[in-house]
Amino acid sequence: MKKFAANIIPKIRLHSMKRILHLCIVLSIFFLSPFSIISQNAGKIKTIVIDAGHGGKDPGAMGKKSKEKDIALAVALKTGHYIEQNLKGVKVVYTRKTDKFVELHRRGQIANEANADLFISIHCNSNNSHSPYGSETYALGVEEKRTKRNMEVAMTENAAIMLEENQQDIYAGFNPNSEESLISLTLFQSEHLMQSLDLASRIQKQFKDRVGRKDRGVHQAGFLVLWRTAMPSVLVELGYISNTTEEAFLLSEKGQSYMASAIYRAVKEYKRDYESESGAYDYRQENEENQEDINSEQKSSTSNSSVIYRVQFYVTPSKIKKDDKRFNSLNDVYMYEHNGMYKFTSGKFNSLDEAENHKKTVRSKGFKDAFTVAFLDDERISISKAKQILNEK
């Protein structure tokens, strides 16, 4: 643990690690409360919590003409509206719908009490320089690159606890300005990190491709608002309101609608793929009405293809080696690219039952959100499509 933390922040001396370990223990006792042990709804996305950052006496970042809390609320409400209008059966819960102050610990609590399946916290960035611009999305965790910059962003967002009453007692002495506190926070890897990074990647892709924003990437850092959530969670930085051009865009009705629509579309895609992979639904093929007309030659070609199952256990926006020490406990590790992310699987099976049994083993080794995926000739396909192909043989 000492070596790991020292590699993250070289200037943190080893003698300080005892204090970090102590803080980890104290904070883990506080944050592992009864309502934190909640899992997602049996493979379906039913409840999404939208969190508008800051609010009330906490304005957040300040632009020349804007306040972060106002832009965050406007985009949060629009995002929720798009989800409610277009994703049937999905309930949206807001941490705030008006300009009021909500404690950071309460935001995660709201999500856990709602038994939410996704948590999206919306913010704006700022910088002393007017030059930086672009959008970025974060998950809770450790990122070996850009650590100093990520810590600065996390410190800025975590500073909201200084406006809370009894914050020393509530957060067990957590200091938002302390690098030691942030290290202790990030050493707790979320069991939903893989899914959080997946959602974050989809959001960034929508910002870049649909809205034309500069893509500042997917990153990991220690955010208090994400730490207490018991579901895939991301923190979105819409852009820099310290940049005059970007501030004008984020203040405009058009800009807010575009950004909200991008987040909604990412959620829609994530929901579709997550539910398909988890077997929640048997999705129809695009040309379902023509399935009965498939000729024998096509069937023969499909029958000669090889469907295999693997257990996916890790995802990252940065390419890493298959023999990474984090994967030492797993065998037959395979990496592939999908939706702009590098995804890692373990095992290779001809039957779904074998893969499901292996999934239990993978989860027992600490990868709690591992799930089964299917491939056809090394191309990723849905579980339902794999079943259909095997049934046709």
* HEC secondary structure over the chain: CHHHHHHHCCCCCHHHHHHHHHHHHHHHHHHCCHHHCCCCCCCCCCEEEEEECCECCECCCECCCCEHHHHHHHHHHHHHHHHHHHCCCCEEEECCCCCCCCCHHHHHHHHHHCCCCEEEEEEEECCCCCCCCCEEEEEECCCCCCHHHHHHHHHHHHHHHHHCCCHHHHCCCCCCCCHHHHHHHHCCCCCCHHHHHHHHHHHHHHHHHCCCCCEEEEEEECCHHHHCCCCCEEEEEEEECCCHHHHHHHHCHHHHHHHHHHHHHHHHHHHHHHHHHCCCCCCCCCCHHHHHHCCHHHHHHHHCCCEEEEEEEEEECCCCCCCCHHHCCCCCEEEEEECCEEEEEEEEECCHHHHHHHHHHHHHCCCCCCEEEEEECCEEECHHHHHHHHHHC
Domain assignment present for residue 367? The answer is yes
pLDDT tens digits, one per residue of 177-232: 555 554 455 544 456 788 888 999 999 999 999 999 999 999 887 666 666 677 89
Is 233 found in the same domain as 195? yes
- pLDDT score at 288: 37
Q: What is the mean pLDDT of residues 19-35?
A: 42
Q: For the chain, what percent of residues have pLDDT higher than 70?
A: 66
Domain assignment present for residue 100? The answer is yes
Q: For the chain, what percent of residues have pLDDT higher than 90?
A: 42
Is 216 found in the same domain as 317? no
Give the residue numbers spanning the domain of 261.
2-275
- pLDDT score at 149: 55
pLDDT beyond 50 at 129: yes
Domain assignment present for residue 17? The answer is yes
CATH number at residue 249: 3.40.630.40
Is 18 found in the same domain as 167? yes
Is 117 found in the same domain as 254? yes
The chain-wide mean pLDDT, for the chain, equals: 76
pLDDT interval class at 151 (50, 70, 90): low
- pLDDT score at 16: 47
Is 13 found in the same domain as 76? yes
pLDDT beyond 60 at 243: yes
Q: What is the mean pLDDT of residues 351-370?
A: 87
Is 98 found in the same domain as 185? yes
Is 312 found in the same domain as 263? no
Domain assignment present for residue 185? The answer is yes
Q: What is the mean pLDDT of residues 158-164?
A: 57
- pLDDT score at 392: 73
| Top-confidence residue, 44 or 73 | 73
pLDDT beyond 90 at 55: yes
Domain assignment present for residue 219? The answer is yes
Place of tokens 């957040």: 60
Q: Which long-range contacts (CB under 8 A, 24 or more apart) does 79-82 make?
A: 79/50, 79/120, 79/122, 79/260, 79/263, 79/264, 80/48, 80/50, 81/260, 82/260, 82/261, 82/264
- pLDDT score at 136: 95
- pLDDT score at 91: 97
Is 248 found in the same domain as 301? no
- pLDDT score at 154: 54
Domain assignment present for residue 235? The answer is yes
CATH number at residue 324: 3.30.70.1070
Is 8 found in the same domain as 155? yes
Least confident range of 148-152, 199-203, 231-235: 148-152
Is 311 found in the same domain as 263? no
CA nearest neighbour of 159 among 103, 108, 213: 103
Is 265 found in the same domain as 155? yes
Is 232 found in the same domain as 339? no
pLDDT tens digits, one per residue of 222-232: 666 666 677 89
Please list the residues that pair with 337 across neighbouring strands: 342
Strand order in the sheet with 379-381: 333-338, 341-349, 307-316, 371-376, 379-381
Global pTM?
Answer: 0.66
Give the Cα separation of 157 and 160 in Å (integer): 6
Domain assignment present for residue 122? The answer is yes
The domain total for the chain is 2
Domain assignment present for residue 286? The answer is no
pLDDT tens digits, one per residue of 279-308: 544 333 333 333 333 333 344 334 445 899
